[in-house]
Chain A
Amino acid sequence: MHSANVTKRYESWGRYPKPEHAAVEHMRWCHDPPDFATLDHTVLPFGYGRSYGDSCLNNGGILLDITELRRLIDFDAEKGIIRCEAGITLAELLDFIVPHGWFLPVTPGTKFISIGGAIANDVHGKNHHVDGTFGCHVTQFELLRSSGEHLICSPQENSELYRATIGGLGLTGIITWAEFTLKPILSAYVDMERIRFGNLEEFFALADESAEDYIYTVGWLDCLSQGKNFGRGLYTRGNHHDPPLDAVINDIQAKPKITLPIDFPNFAINTLTVKAFNEVYYRSQLSKIIRGVVHYDPFFYPLDVANDWNRLYGKRGFMQYQCVVPYKDSLEPIKEIIRRIGVSGQGSPLVVFKIFGDVESPGMLSFPRPGVTLALDFPNNGQRTLTLLEDLDRIVRESGGAKYPAKDAHMSFESFEISYPNWQEFAQHIDPMFSSSFWRRMMAGREQIC
């Protein structure tokens, strides 16, 4: 798919809940904002709608589509610093920076998101334990407030707004452009290893062993197996590939020479109810460990090959669930969560599993923090699903963990408050004209507080 061909609808990726927006406005130029004085609804910036729940929706209000802000502004090819408008996709940026020998500092599991979205959700990737979140690499950005002010925000300038906007859920104003640092690479490939693990203890041992030597690590866990197979899965780790001396940088975009099949998530969606799938999947890797050199695309973005895969869940949509739970003192909470998911039979058979490190983000409402994070899909089966998710949330709360708003359509205020104890500090920086479905859901009955 061409990088500029991103499907976009004014709904969230989970297609639940279903919003009705009063209007969708377009912002095409950084210097030409909407006339806020004439708007009689609240506003929320909208990128590519790759957030799953309701944090990118503004039911009854106005969405401000910023995806036409996709121009580059400056690039220092020596130092690896890029400045661009906030609506550009990671895909288009990669097309530009990779041939120059640079990579994104942090990337989520899809490249069809905007830089504005990457900042507003302070996204994380497989390298969180080494590099932290996307926000950690943002040197400055311009924030447009409904007052008409264009503010430069950086760790030095307007630093409170800088911290509020990173992970700020689009509520502090419009990020028109941003500048961030890139990661040097010598090729477009990744040295990858995939290792089978039999239980959670093995997973944590692998994670410990890999933390120092591998920038990218992630696990896929089979949560349906109970008993002696409980906690089994596949562990993937990788580093940017150093080409042999004769390889030229021009070759950087060429097709991979050795490919590994890493297309499991597509299966995962189609076979939601098929328990046997995990057996097949887990067994499909016969040897304990396989190694290969793969292009960055299949390594980082296996789901992007299937355009619109979210629609496979049908009209009612689905819910993503992502939490982070401390594990240093006890593995019990995370085990309990996996057990519950398995027993319920409601979730997707594969769960993404990853250790977050302790690199601190500047973002006030940043989700990642030390612990183990887990993410999976739940088809929307109405109350049954909501009851299960609330059960899981309770375990997360009791363990001192946190929930990820970018993937949420159900958490209670209690969960939010425990996840983000400084939310009131954050709330002071919200632009008075900005709001979202998520924020109103959290604040219902609490308007007097902020």
Chain B
Amino acid sequence: MLKILVVGGSSAIAHEAARHFAADGGSLFLVDIDAEKLDAVAADLRTRGAAKVETHVLDVTAIDQHQAMLDAAIASLDGLDAVLIAYGTLGKQEESQADVSVALREMNINLISVIALLTIVANHFEAQKRGCIAAISSVAGDRGRQSNYVYGTAKAGVSAFMQGLRNRLAKSGVSVVTIKPGMVDTPMTAHMKKTPLFSKPHVVGKAIYDGMRQGRGVVYAPWYWRFVMLIIRNIPEPIFKRMSL
């Protein structure tokens, strides 16, 4: 059964994906910033059939501790088949606009730390010549919009980085799966008014599970966001710049 490292393991979306791996009898190594939340998620996954669930507390911005965490995961699971990177923060755009340090902090969590992590994971899987690397990016990275372009920039960076990795690792038999959810009803969006465009985390979780198992390239979740974003990307810039999106 699969041995999976989930960084951002208590995220609402990641938990839904992990439930499927647990029901299959997989083993999971969960990393997140809060020990109590990790314990609650771990208990759920164990109860649902995971062969093993270990937890590990880490603030992902402590990049110097990434390698130790990865080593711990490999040691604990006795190998590694897949990694899912699912943490993130959705800071307020206005705050990022007003204060550079806020914007940089957002970039640090949502992009820089992800690049750092992806680099060591990619090297590990490239050497072992198999594995699946999945990271949750966002449709927000498909086109910069005034409402969240700082977050969007980080996600665009993640998508581009993953694209490059996919290209590099194809020959090593490693699949690289970029997940691009639309808006999802999770703690991250608790402050936002829920419109019919919002999806439930279990829908996105299932799409992640399917995408990882099939080794797909880019997974929009739910699928229709692929078409929504196709349209949004193709709006000519002179028109787009006047829209309030």
Alpha-carbon separation in the docked complex, A125 to B43 (Å): 30
B47 within 8 A of A: yes
Q: Which residue of B lies closest to A73 (CB)?
A: B43
State how many angstroms separate the Cβ of B222 from the closest Cβ of chain A: 13
Is there contact, CB below 8 Å, between A96 and B190? no
Is there contact, CB below 8 Å, between B47 and A4? no
Is there contact, CB below 8 Å, between A4 and B200? yes
Q: Which residues from A are CB-within-8-Å of B43?
A: 71-74
A257 within 8 A of B: no
Q: Which residue of A lies closest to B206 (CB)?
A: A2
Instruction: Count residues on chain A whose CB falls below 8 Å from chain B CBs.
Output: 16
Q: Which residues from B are CB-within-8-Å of A29?
A: 36-37, 40
Q: Which residues from B are CB-within-8-Å of A75?
A: 47
Could you say which of B48, B187, B202 contacts A28, with CB atoms under 8 Å apart?
B187
State how many angstroms separate the Cβ of A30 from the closest Cβ of chain B: 7
Interface centre among B41, B43, B48 (most CB of A within 10 A): B43
Interface residues of B in 14-65 (CB under 8 A from A): 36-37, 40-41, 43-44, 47-48
Query: Interface majority SS on A: helix, strand, loop or mixed?
Result: loop
Alpha-carbon separation in the docked complex, A26 to B43 (Å): 21
State how many angstroms separate the Cβ of A342 from the closest Cβ of chain B: 43
A38 within 8 A of B: no
Is there contact, CB below 8 Å, between A30 and B40? yes
Instruction: Count residues on chain B whose CB falls below 8 Å from chain A CBs.
Output: 12
Q: Which residue of B lies closest to A28 (CB)?
A: B187
**Contacts A4-B200, A5-B200, A31-B36 given: A72-B190 contact, CB under 8 Å?**
no
Alpha-carbon separation in the docked complex, A32 to B37 (Å): 9
Q: Which residue of A lies closest to B16 (CB)?
A: A4
Q: Which residue of B lies closest to A31 (CB)?
A: B36
Is there contact, CB below 8 Å, between B44 and A26? no
Q: Which residue of A lies closest to B190 (CB)?
A: A26
Q: Which residue of A lies closest to B36 (CB)?
A: A31
Is there contact, CB below 8 Å, between A71 and B40? yes
Interface centre among B37, B40, B187 (most CB of A within 10 A): B40
Alpha-carbon separation in the docked complex, A445 to B208 (Å): 56
Interface residues of A in 30-86 (CB under 8 A from B): 30-32, 71-75, 85
State how many angstroms separate the Cβ of B156 from the closest Cβ of chain A: 29
Q: Which residue of A lies closest to B41 (CB)?
A: A71
> Chain A residues in contact with chain B, CB under 8 A?
2, 4-5, 26, 28-32, 71-75, 85, 96
> Chain B residues in contact with chain A, CB under 8 A?
36-37, 40-41, 43-44, 47-48, 187, 190, 200, 202
Given A71-B43, A72-B44, A73-B47, 8 additional A-B pairs, CB 8 A: A2-B202, A26-B190, A31-B36, A71-B44, A72-B43, A72-B48, A73-B44, A85-B40
Pairs A–B under 8 Å by Cβ, sample size 6 = A29-B37, A31-B40, A71-B44, A72-B47, A73-B43, A74-B47
